[in-house]
Amino acid sequence: MSRRGLTFAVAAALIAVLAVLATVLPVPYVILVPGPVTDTLGDVPTASGGTRPVVAVSGAQSYPPSGHLYLTTVGVVPGSCDRHPTLLQALRSWFNDTQAVEPQQVICPPGESSTAVQHQNEQDMSQSQVDAITAALLHLGYKPLTERVVVAEILDPKSPAASVLQQADVILAVDGHAISTADELRTQVGAHPIGTALRLTIERGGKKQDVVVKTIDSGDGSHRAVIGIKPDLHATFKNVKVTIGIDPAQVGGPSAGLAFTLGIIDKLTPGDLTGGRTVAATGTIDAFGTVGPIGGIQQKIAGALRAHATAFLVPTGDCADAKKVAPSSLVLVKVDTLDTALAALGRLATGSGTFPRC
């Protein structure tokens, strides 16, 4: 064999080896793909082969909708923290406009097992449903029987609160003063100088206990005393009961909160929020109606387009990324609160007036 022939043969063999390696060599990334979309005004299948409504209401008048209001999701490949995509899968996804290749720690924090990540996603989904129900009923004027302030998030892992408080702790009192609303919590904490050690009575796992938390500066220039948490509200309501038919084990995370809230409001009010249109939405929501940013906006827009949505409600913090990938035919509505979303939907339905856009 000539030298040139030998060179070509070696090169071909190396290419073949690299091609084989690319199909089996795992890489430390995850691939984000468009996930399924679900109409919050429609039904979902059950394990028994039947269907159940995404939003079911008892104890109050409900109204049949005519439009579609989709929640959007993101799928993850390969779907487990213990597995990795191959180099070939990652390269293919890199050139796919509807997919994204991200470092594995975006989905799977270091040291976290697949089971732990799945459990957290289920908790986030369950909490988003509770918040959606509370935000919707409070917006509609339903009076709560009870209100309890809970820890939604520890804002700084290095703050004094991080060592004594946990997510979902119920804050019952501050230095003996009973707490039932977030405003009462802010007032009681803010009445003390920065650096004060406060005695908080909390409930965790059904048991009461006292903990001591030192106040810190709010960091927003107002020099208010805070304890470094994001509060949320748990409320119970008389008679009216809302059930969400999405299984947290099947669809995880908190980003369906806004869509759930709008679906509940649509079911409990006459007329149609969408004006008969097909609308998609994403965004977290707390019980006070504040809409927060999410991940995977590229994949969620692809899902919205697949559902033939003509408008997409986008959290303010995700607008810049949404504009990069959305076609001009899809109206991007910028929302930061439930009220903003409802006002925009009303103007979209009537075709009159302006609303914030990305």
Cβ density class 113-136: b for 16+ within 10 Å, e for less: eeeebbeebbbbbbbbbbbbbbbb
Cis preceding-peptide flag for 78 (omega within 30 of 0): yes
**Hey, what domains does the chain have and what are their CATH numbers?**
30-140+238-350 (3.30.230), 144-236 (2.30.42.10)
pLDDT at 115: 86
Identify residue 278 by its one-letter amino acid code.
Answer: T
User: Is 346 a residue whose pLDDT tops 90?
Assistant: yes
User: Is 1 a residue whose pLDDT tops 60?
Assistant: no
Burial class (CB in 10 A: 0-12, 13-18, 19+), 4: exposed
**In which band, very low, low, confident or very high, does the pLDDT at 89 lie, cut at 50, 70 and 90?**
confident
pLDDT tens, position by position, 278-330: 999 999 999 999 999 999 999 999 999 999 999 999 999 999 999 999 999 99
pLDDT tens, position by position, 191-201: 999 999 999 99
Please tell me the distance from the alpha carbon of residue 226 to that of residue 154, in angstroms, as a whole number.
12
pLDDT tens, position by position, 123-136: 899 999 999 999 99
pLDDT at 6: 46
pLDDT at 284: 96
Residue indicated by tokens 């949404």: 322
- 159 backbone dihedrals φ, ψ, rounded to 5°: -75, 160
Q: What is the dihedral of CA 45, 49, 50, 53, to 10 degrees?
A: -20
User: Is 338 a residue whose pLDDT tops 70?
Assistant: yes
For every residue of 3-53, DSSP letters joined together read HHHHHHHHHHHHHHHHHHHHHH-B-SEEEEEE---EETTSEEE-TTS-EEE
Average pLDDT score over residue span 117-121: 86
**In which band, very low, low, confident or very high, does the pLDDT at 25 lie, cut at 50, 70 and 90?**
low
Q: Is the model more confident about 22 or about 333?
A: 333
